[in-house]
Structure 1
């Protein structure tokens, strides 16, 4: 799958830029992922890849307890898009795949 790998992610939120590392991999034809950042590791849920559009959900507890919905476009080794937490404004997301 074209999204597999380790990604350095930046999320520009109203309280500052948050950094995370995504690990995306395929197992038996299904896409799985983990996000690590702010001292916690969380599993990505409801992952879907439609062409170059990747979406997923995740819950975090730091700095606030939030449920996040991500919607990004993957172009080679970069991704751009948004993250949304409930009624809060969308946050800009950028990512870069680490080279093996």
Structure 2
């Protein structure tokens, strides 16, 4: 496996969390791995976003983490990464995301 660390947003100044930030990071990580690994070694490679939370930081409560929005975020993560796995199936890649705040 290869892992990376990308959140939906960094700060309040960036506004609402955006799942496309995570998708772009996953695809970039996969492309870098494919450049480094021989094709036969990349088959079955799991690309994991190991902290795909909505936002960084816990010093101030973040209301969406405390409401129905967070389970919705997690469901969107699962669906989005399943779609990435389907799109990159020909290369043998699989994608997963976890959020340590779940």
TM-score (norm 2): 0.31
Give the structure with the higher percent strand: 1
Higher relative contact order (CA 8 A, sep 6+): 2
Give the structure with the higher percent helix: 2
TM-score (norm 1): 0.31
